[in-house]
Amino acid sequence: MTLLSPAHPAPTLTGAQVRRGTPEYRRIGAALFLTGFSAFSLIYCAQPLLTAFTRDFHVTPAQSALSLSLTTGCLALSILIMSAVADSFSRRRVMLTSLLAAALLNGLAALAPTWTLLLLCRALEGLALGGVPAVAMAYLAEEIHPRDLGAAMGQYVGGTAFGGMMGRVCIGLLAGVTSWHAALLVMAGAGLLSAAGFALLLPPSRGFQPRPAAPAREHLRRWAAHLRTPGLGALFTLGFLNLGVMVAAFNYLGFRLHAPPYGLSAAAISLIFLTYLLGSAASGWGGRLADRQGRCPLLLTGLLLSGAGLALTLLSPLPVIILGVTLITVGFFVTHSVASSSVGQLARRDKGHASALYLLAYYAGSSVVGVLGGWVWAAGGWSLLVEVCASLLVLGLLLTRTVPRT
């Protein structure tokens, strides 16, 4: 899952920037891959454990979804805060502190004796991780030569996609043969190892020096200006709806497949998340095609693919449901890649602040729709959940009419 950076743009001087093929470039690429992997595996490692949380803590599906929704909600808030203050600190220190704190908090969540303490750890984990998206891409833009920046960004985004998948698949498999406690501890250990590798690999910044943060009223002025920019509000809302629908579907599909007539184990259900790989590839495809066809046709395509996938999950055969999940994933990534890149294109200035608002809405969608989906699931089962998610996608389709076509 890609992350926009709400930090300042790259400097204009490029003479001292790192070029592709050098040892320093390889170190930066590997370090940022580890950053993306660690952050996203820690965020999403709770998703395949929702049925286990429901069983062991005697909570409802909607309550179990808080283990993910609180993390992404606090992450959204943290990104907004860090976008305003991150420039006052070393890029390397912000990212390393975020990674270490999040991994340690994931370990504490694994050992939490009560549901309340587990949720507290997961919420704090989201707050800690805000430092990664706030500065990771800014670091790359400042250190890598513009002609080689795309490849370097690709390595970071690849790490986020790989981490999102591994956080879902590996945790489910580990929980199936051990316990969810052990699975979360293993993920925490992987996070600490990734942080150590990051610290050893990442060179010090050469294109950035910490500077005093702007006054709070200046940040508020910049955010307000973006909310008044034609098309940006629609893109922020699309981010909210797009991730919210996917998270709600993925959260509660596990409950459906765990129950009769399927009776799948947590390990078997987690393998369905391998469809994430195909969706990640679709992200790059959607971005390239949008450059040729325009953003609106691709936004429509992504939303319609997700809608078709939701419709297929209403059918009973398991292979058809898996095909539906694949279409939901591909549609999500196409929509997200086009919407997120369009934010930077439509923002006239202060693009980092526009990106921060997009990410705030994006992760808020995960939190709000993820929890609301649990109430819908309890009230009417999978069919009602699909109806609600489809309604949100229809709203997204209507919003694309307000996005500028240039």
What is the DSSP annotation of 249-288? HHHHHHHHHHSTTT---HHHHHHGGGHHHHHHHHHHHHHH
Terminal CA-CA length for the chain:
25
Tokens of 98: 């975020």
In angstroms, the CA 355 to CA 357 distance is 5
Predicted pLDDT of residue 83: 79
What is the average per-residue pLDDT within 236-245?
Answer: 95
The Cα-based distances of 244 to 11, 15, 199, 303 in angstroms read: 35, 43, 33, 13
One-letter amino acid at 303 equals L
Whether 32 and 140 have beta carbons less than 8 Å apart is answered as yes
In angstroms, the CA 313 to CA 294 distance is 30
Helix, coil or strand: residue 181: helix
Q: Structure pTM?
A: 0.83
Whether 160 and 109 have beta carbons less than 8 Å apart is answered as no
Lowest model confidence (mean pLDDT) among 181-185, 334-338, 390-394? 334-338
77-124 pLDDT, tens per residue? 998 888 788 778 888 899 999 999 999 999 999 999 999 999 999 999
Lowest model confidence (mean pLDDT) among 20-24, 149-153, 348-352, 390-394? 149-153
In angstroms, the CA 14 to CA 284 distance is 26
Whether 83 and 366 have beta carbons less than 8 Å apart is answered as no
